[in-house]
Amino acid sequence: MNSGKGIGGTLSSQRPPAPVTGQLAGNAARGTLGSVASVATPYALQRRQVARSDELVTAVTRLDVVGDETVRRELVDWIRSVYDDRQGGVLVGLMSQCFLGAPYVDHRLSLDGYILEHFRPGDIVPPAYAAARRLAQSGAYAFVEIYDDGAVVPIRSDGSAVL
């Protein structure tokens, strides 16, 4: 399935940005979630390595074009249940490129409040999502997961996680 194209078109010849980990990711999470980030269990960290299903990748990447609010809420509930069942830790939200067109370039999905928010290039994203934004905009990843322990996990279009 590796055709050299990402969801948004041809990938650039530049190397994709590296995932944000460690103190920088922890600071991003603490910016929204309080002064202390949680710690993921070894089991949760191992579960994050499992590839995401094609259905999940498709659902997340097409979420911004679902017009019906009821259908969108059902889809978000399904996405949340997939992550809960996977037991990879507490997912704060997802960040990905936006395909609505100008002026929007990316969007975030906050699973705790069904928030789907679109951003223009100059907009400031919430602190927990800042580290994920560059990765999402790169086009190298289908979307980026943000966890309450500060982990930022890019997900490729084939569902594989970059850890």
Instruction: Express as a percent the part of the chain with pLDDT over 90.
Output: 55
Asked if residue 123 is part of any domain, the answer here is yes
**DSSP secondary structure code for residue 161 in this structure:** B
Q: In which element (H, E) is residue 83 found?
A: helix 69-86
Asked if residue 5 is part of any domain, the answer here is no
More confident residue, 19 or 101: 101
Asked if residue 7 is part of any domain, the answer here is no
Asked if residue 4 is part of any domain, the answer here is no
How many CB atoms are located within 10 Å of the residue 67 CB?
6
Asked if residue 10 is part of any domain, the answer here is no
More confident residue, 156 or 19: 156
Asked if residue 121 is part of any domain, the answer here is yes
pLDDT digits (tens, 9 = 90+) for 19-47: 444 433 433 333 344 444 589 999 999 99
* Residue 76 domain boundaries: 17-155
Asked if residue 3 is part of any domain, the answer here is no
Asked if residue 115 is part of any domain, the answer here is yes
pLDDT digits (tens, 9 = 90+) for 46-74: 999 999 999 999 999 888 788 888 988 89
Q: How far apart are CA 93 and CA 116, in angstroms?
A: 10
pTM exceeds 0.85 for this model:
no
Q: What's the confidence (pLDDT) of residue 4?
A: 37
Instruction: Express as a percent the part of the chain with pLDDT over 70.
Output: 76
Mean pLDDT, the chain, as a whole number?
80
* Cα distances (angstroms) measured from residue 112 to each of 18, 77, 79, 121, 160: 27, 10, 11, 25, 24
- Counting the structural domains of the chain, the total is 1
